[in-house]
Structure 1
Amino acid sequence: MRAIRPLALAAAGALALTACGGGGESVDTGGGGGGDGGGDNVLVAAVSAQPDQFDPHVTNAYPSFQVLENVYDTLVVPNAEDLTMEPSLAESWETSEDGLTWTFTLREGVTFHDGSEFDSADVVYSYNRIIDEELANSYRFANVASVEGPDPQTVVITVTQPTPNLLALIGAFKGMAILPEGAAEDLDLTTEANGTGPFQLESSDASSTVLTAYEDYWGGAPSIDGVEFRYITEPAAALTSLRNGEIQWTDNVPPQQVQALGEDQDVELASTPSVDYWYMSMNYDRPPFDNPQVRRAIATAVDRAEVTEAARFEAARPNQTAIPEDSFYYYDYAPFEPDEDAARQLLQESGVSTPITMGLMVTDEFPESVTAAQVIASQLEPIGVNVEVEVLDFATWLDRQDQGDFDAFMLSWLGNIDPADFYEQQHISNGSSNYQGYSNPQVDQLLTQAATETDEDARKELYDQAAKIIVDDVSYLYLYNPDVVQAWTPGLEGYRIRADRAINFEEVQLP
């Protein structure tokens, strides 16, 4: 059995490592590791929200993956430049002629943070845990018949049909992390971690999470001694902390200041188009939002350009189909032009009496969601839809989403690489992230077919067809694609901003 130094509870009672900025008890190893503000060689990074937990196979929260990206590895990983898949724990792979067998050769000399050796049994365990327990990313194995380790350095994945995006499925983000065999039995993975990544989880509490460098990391010891993630919800406060030297890096940059910061000698600013999208979705199980004419009326009343300008200023582009313009899979389809009269007509045709009250659930830990919701509320009021903006902490937001306790909600999808990431589990019937309760047999068929189509042009056509129906049905009301905008102290070297928002600090050198 493998073990790792536990994160002991510092106070009695259950620990709730939520993504909210409020309470929660402290967890600490007792080893320090920079929890008091770090040392001279500890990077202090400001992020907007607290991890909800540290089990990579269970959490869906981006604040958790900001940390876990530095703690765990996957078999393959997106390249920082163009997001194509490259080796990580697997140093090479090959595919059989019929496309049904993928054979991965594992990297030698890799150890977990407890010093135990990594081998194929860990991959088999990790993948089968996700599959057997139907965890958050089990859908990624929909075509997988078996995962086997015929010898310590080889993993064979057999699929039931050609799966052209298998590498993206198993490597796109750390939700597919490789854990040591038996980890879920040996550890409380909500508060503990044992990865093969460049940093070890040292401590976490309601104000920060601390990582320390893993000197035996297979890619070479990190250049810094550790990372302290501090939770600073307000972008203006994060920027002030950066200027004051209290932190050295943040991705919580006030969007209205992006242009001015580009000329600020006291801040190093970088931005790049993302593979993210922001959206609003309505609950199909709650009248009148089960009525397609009501949803289309709301989609017609929303001025996406105005929402984008308010929420992101120049750092985003309106888009009604999720996939960004610079992608091969971009679909230029925008059926909803803002038109109050047309929206009122659609409401009249729906047969639903007005005014309609709609609760719109957002979280203050992503302030742009609050701004966007307020603009949408002002746009819907003239057509007879009274929006009650519900501003929640992120933990409550996630819980209510899971329970289906909402009229409508707003947030973003981050780190999408393959076109399936943009549509499949959000809109296929019984999809793991289909919280709105959407079901369209034609969409199911198109998305299922697209997932196994090996011809890229034919695959794009299938996703285009599915996207058109999804947009017309207003399963999601897509809003915009934001840029990734991050800032750090001048002189910090070795950090690369990425379109998928993965945050990697192992090569960072402090000034």
Structure 2
Amino acid sequence: MRLLAALLAAVVVFASTACAPGRRVDLGQDSGNLVAAISGEPDQLDPQKTSAYFSFEVLENVFDTLVEPGADLVMRPALAQSWETSADQLVWTFHLRPGVTFHDGSPLRAADVVYSYRRIIDGKLANADKFSAVTDVSAPDDHTVRLTVAHPTPNLLTNLGGFKGMAIVQRRNVEDGQIATHPIGTGPFSFVSQKSGDSLVLRANPRYWGGAPRIPGVTFRFISETSTALSALQAGEIDWTDAVPAQRVSQLRNDDSVHLAVEPSNDYWYLALNTARPPWNDVRVRQAVAYALDRSSIVQATSYGTAQANQLAIPQGNPWFTPYNRYGHNLDKARQLLQQAGAAPKTMDLLVTSEYPQTVTAAQVIAANLEPLGIGVTIRTVDFATWLDEQNSGHFDMLMMGWLGNIDPDDFYYAQHHTGGTSNAQKFSDPRVDALLDAGRTETDQQARKDDYARAATLIADEVSYIYLYNPAVLQAWTPNLTGYEARRDKAIRFRSAVLHAGGDRP
């Protein structure tokens, strides 16, 4: 009875505080933290093995890279404070910052960087292709890392600094298996705990090389419904979210209770047809599907006009942008191509995931677009982990997904469309594309390199390795009490400089 009475008392206290409008309840270890709502839970905590954006949102605050992109996406010092290249551009020497420590207090040494890179290379992890030109990684001393490349590599810094999969990890943390449940990095925040299906807590790292954060920590809450996340922000229950309903953007522009960010992004959303399966292995059938799609309707349904329709990966405004407009909505052309191919597909399996709701929304429009061609689309909605398994096993006719965090043109094209690309799930292969993408990795003349990628991008679209749909905007919102944070084109979520000011109804 005493236990029951205590539980009832706790429920009464919780209800009386939780129902107070505009007030947030901070409990225990996350008291005073910045509370950030993201749309899904990290699939895992090993930064070199995950490919989920939800994981990167969290882990970019826990781990560092050797160099990192600034807001202008130009690579800047991070764990390496400086670097130089040899006259023949085949040897890159990086000098580590002195005094950097991991979260457990152990010092960062050059051997940790060598171990991190060798783990990616030898384990053939998702970003192994970033090291395709690297012939040797060594540590002449504790503070120096040396990379030798087989040929000039103009995008090496971008390869090392794009956070996805390139974090510097601690060898002991990996070898004892703890990285999966309690990752240890050198970043501005250290991992504290995770409650599956609910939240993940980080604590400020007082020894961070860039200066101790000005907030005690970050609590990431997993809220899949964008309307729920926005309501929580407006009620003062959370401080930041990137789960902003696109249909609310116009209204939010005039809402003084939140700060809204709408920024152009380098992300893109696409469809991929499985070229290992008939009839999708016939380029004319793939082109027919491309002509059948009404991109403007897809953009309106998924982003309420905040995204930019695009038939290539790289958006207008980016210096690597290439104009391309072959696939206007044209059902007659689509029927003609199917007739030329002697194909009359009746069904299509379209793989999407509930953890990226825009794929589910777009699938409905796509199904309606293909119906006049006699193609009945079966929309298969799965969780993201299953989506990855199905993609990797080639168990799909067509899938929809986005590619995030792109900076260099190599990021937009190589892994996805080179015959040996690590993310070429659609099994596309064209020797002309391979040659151009290989050339882009070695060409040091900027204009010649731009020409290579423009030709490659055009072939990729002509041959329908991907059907590009649109470049989304970065949509984020936060309390006016939060300063020192900025929404970025590459969608990097960095809370290292964030400041939460007292005010309003915050406790």
Q: Same fold (TM over 0.5)?
A: yes
- Give the aligned partner of residue 183 of structure 1: 173
Native 8 Å contact 1:37 1:44 kept in 2:
no
- Give the aligned partner of residue 346 of structure 1: 337
Native 8 Å contact 1:125 1:182 kept in 2:
no
Counterpart Cα distance in 2 of 1:429 and 1:352: 26
The answer to whether residue 369 in structure 2 is matched with residue 379 in structure 1 is: yes
**1:216 equivalent among 203, 207, 212:** 207
Native 8 Å contact 1:38 1:44 kept in 2:
no
Task: Label 1:137 to 1:263 Cα distance change in 2 as closer, same or farther (>3 A).
Answer: same
Counterpart Cα distance in 2 of 1:237 and 1:181: 40
Letter of the structure 1 residue corresponding to residue 315 of structure 2: P
Deviations 1:218-240 (A, max 9, x none): 11111111111111111111111
Counterpart Cα distance in 1 of 2:242 and 2:477: 6
- Give the aligned partner of residue 240 of structure 2: 249
Counterpart Cα distance in 1 of 2:115 and 2:229: 40
Number of matched pairs: 476
Q: TM-score, normalised by structure 1?
A: 0.91
Deviations 1:350-377 (A, max 9, x none): 11134x2111111111111111111111
The answer to whether residue 426 in structure 2 is matched with residue 436 in structure 1 is: yes
Match of 2:234, SS? helix
Q: TM-score, normalised by structure 2?
A: 0.92
Counterpart Cα distance in 1 of 2:83 and 2:329: 49
- Cα deviation for residue 38 of structure 1 reads 6.1
Match of 2:472, SS? strand
Counterpart Cα distance in 1 of 2:434 and 2:181: 37
Letter of the structure 2 residue corresponding to residue 237 of structure 1: T
Letter of the structure 1 residue corresponding to residue 282 of structure 2: N
Letter of the structure 2 residue corresponding to residue 413 of structure 1: W
- Give the aligned partner of residue 450 of structure 1: 440
The answer to whether residue 59 in structure 2 is matched with residue 65 in structure 1 is: no
Deviations 1:67-87 (A, max 9, x none): 10000000100002x110000
Counterpart Cα distance in 2 of 1:67 and 1:116: 22
Native 8 Å contact 2:363 2:379 kept in 1:
yes
Identity %: 54
Native 8 Å contact 1:68 1:174 kept in 2:
no
- Give the aligned partner of residue 393 of structure 2: 403
Match of 1:155, SS? strand
Counterpart Cα distance in 2 of 1:43 and 1:282: 41
Native 8 Å contact 1:495 1:505 kept in 2:
yes
Structure 1, unmatched stretches of 5+, are 1-33
Native 8 Å contact 2:164 2:405 kept in 1:
no
The answer to whether residue 459 in structure 2 is matched with residue 469 in structure 1 is: yes
Native 8 Å contact 1:443 1:466 kept in 2:
yes
- Cα deviation for residue 40 of structure 1 reads 4.8
**2:359 equivalent among 346, 349, 369:** 369
Q: Which runs of 4+ in 1 moved over 3 A?
A: 34-40
Deviations 1:243-274 (A, max 9, x none): 11111100010001112101101111012100
Match of 1:189, SS? helix
- Give the aligned partner of residue 12 of structure 2: none
Counterpart Cα distance in 2 of 1:334 and 1:183: 49
Native 8 Å contact 2:30 2:201 kept in 1:
no
**2:128 equivalent among 113, 135, 138:** 138
Counterpart Cα distance in 1 of 2:409 and 2:399: 23
Counterpart Cα distance in 2 of 1:276 and 1:353: 33
- Cα deviation for residue 36 of structure 1 reads 4.5
The answer to whether residue 417 in structure 2 is matched with residue 427 in structure 1 is: yes
- Give the aligned partner of residue 469 of structure 2: 479
Match of 1:229, SS? strand
Counterpart Cα distance in 2 of 1:183 and 1:42: 26
Task: Label 1:340 to 1:330 Cα distance change in 2 as closer, same or farther (>3 A).
Answer: same
Counterpart Cα distance in 2 of 1:37 and 1:79: 35
- Give the aligned partner of residue 491 of structure 2: 501
Counterpart Cα distance in 2 of 1:252 and 1:89: 31
Letter of the structure 1 residue corresponding to residue 106 of structure 2: S
**1:90 equivalent among 65, 80, 90:** 80
- Give the aligned partner of residue 197 of structure 1: 187
Structure 2, unmatched stretches of 5+, are 1-24, 502-507
Higher-Rg structure is 2
Native 8 Å contact 1:210 1:228 kept in 2:
yes
Letter of the structure 2 residue corresponding to residue 113 of structure 1: H
Letter of the structure 1 residue corresponding to residue 211 of structure 2: G
Counterpart Cα distance in 2 of 1:471 and 1:444: 14
Native 8 Å contact 2:30 2:218 kept in 1:
no
Native 8 Å contact 2:154 2:444 kept in 1:
yes
Native 8 Å contact 1:427 1:439 kept in 2:
yes
Counterpart Cα distance in 1 of 2:179 and 2:399: 29
Counterpart Cα distance in 2 of 1:175 and 1:234: 27
- Cα deviation for residue 314 of structure 1 reads 2.5
- Cα deviation for residue 153 of structure 1 reads 1.1
